[in-house]
Amino acid sequence: MYEIKRATICRACGNKDIKTILKLDPMPPGDKYAENKNLIPTQLLPSDIEICPKCNHIQMSGSADPSYVYGSYLSRPASTNPELKKAYIEYCTDLAKLANGGSVLEVGSNDGLFLELFKELGIKAVGIEPAKNLIEFANKRNVESINDFVCEESTEIARSIIGNPSVILSNHSFSNVVDIQEWASCLSKILKDDGYLVLQTFYQKSVLENFLIENYNHEHLSYVFIEPISSFFEKYGLRLRKCKYLSAKGGSIRLFFQKSNQFKELDSQSKELIYQEKIYFEKLSQHFSQTQDYITRTKKHLNEILRQTPNNTCAYGTSIGATVFTYQFGLTEHIKTFFDDDPLRQNRLSPGIGAPVKKGRSDEMNQYKNCLLFAPLYSKQIVRANSRYINSGGTFITIRPNVSIIKSESDAEKILN
């Protein structure tokens, strides 16, 4: 169904001496929820997290064919989370000022929301997006997108439409790139002199601090710390000018790289982030060990609970993280049904185990004694929206930071606040 590849060299520098820093159980491609049984992905991919001792780049050990993973794509973050959209409006306004009258190229432009916001601000913009179904959403917004991956051909097409962009935006898409060297080279080539590459992605320090293991999946092939990624981009003439920490998605980092040969001192906020990162990096192996311990104890605790009521467990949330939780916590035999509020995911079958996805906030949840909260960042909202489930005798179970049982609304107030 799809080709499985294992990384044998560092994606950033090509070093062959890469080391495993976190052992994870093999998983299927996490976000490929299937329309029928014949399309369920069942091949398990290597899932260990590895580090390059030479350049400190951190990466996923296994990957699937990108055309399979991204040919059709379900994740539309801003479309399913209104709070994100509000943040994006402010973000686009700042980028429009940075462009200073120039154009914007967005790589991994998803359903075209950013492109639409730029259009409303009077900024000439184009996107590059590999998922054909998301291009169709973008077309409904009446914005221009190129259906391709980042490569010489697609970036040259973009340049023919908007000229050399003053800003290139990569919003939570860099980590998904298989060949980051080709990606950086192609984008640097067309970026206007003194223009900016603005990269927002999950911050690996926050991932480790908050046990955000859902980020360790086969879409996210690279994991970002500021200093290693800054050294990588410098090879392509892109110098770090600013970094900003954001609470979005449990902890993200926004990095501004300028196409320039000039050295400029970073502001105090950026310096402090890098300083704190250096201290944290000194005990990196210990931090990964703590994540390994979190996975082990959570797996043990969940299985002890769920074995008491066999065949009586569902889960709420079907983002890519749901597959990570299912396989890393050893829940493949326990989960019978998923529930989700996104219509695009409903009436599909989950990767690997093939459990059906049903409409959230449904009385069908009452068939199950236990409901695992597989969208941990939104647990409070899910519990509040499904109070009928609790009142009918259902039990919600949290997975982070600890396993907790919620049997009443008062339990929810104590545990989730």
In SS3 terms, 1-33 reads as CCCEEECCCCCCCCCCCCEEEECCCCECCCCCC
Indicate if 86 and 232 belong to the same structural domain: yes
Indicate if 355 and 224 belong to the same structural domain: no
pLDDT beyond 90 at 72: no
Assigned domain for 197 exists: yes
Assigned domain for 359 exists: yes
* pLDDT per residue as tens digits for the range 130-139: 999 889 989 9
pLDDT band at 77; cut points 50, 70, 90: low
* pLDDT per residue as tens digits for the range 308-357: 999 999 999 999 999 999 999 999 999 999 999 999 899 999 999 999 99
Indicate if 259 and 380 belong to the same structural domain: no
Q: Which of 282, 301, 336 is the last residue of a domain?
A: 282
> What pTM does this model have?
0.94
Distance of alpha carbon 83 from alpha carbon 243, whole angstroms: 22
pLDDT band at 242; cut points 50, 70, 90: very high
Dihedral Cα 204, 373, 112, 30, nearest 10 deg: 70
Assigned domain for 22 exists: no
Q: If we measure between CA atoms, which residue out of 237, 204, 246, 239 comes closest to residue 57?
A: 204
The parent domain of residue 180 ranges over: 77-282
Indicate if 334 and 206 belong to the same structural domain: no
pLDDT value for 89 = 84
pLDDT value for 93 = 92
pLDDT beyond 80 at 81: no
* pLDDT per residue as tens digits for the range 363-405: 999 999 999 999 999 999 999 999 999 999 999 999 999 999 9
Over residues 59-78, mean pLDDT: 82
Assigned domain for 24 exists: no
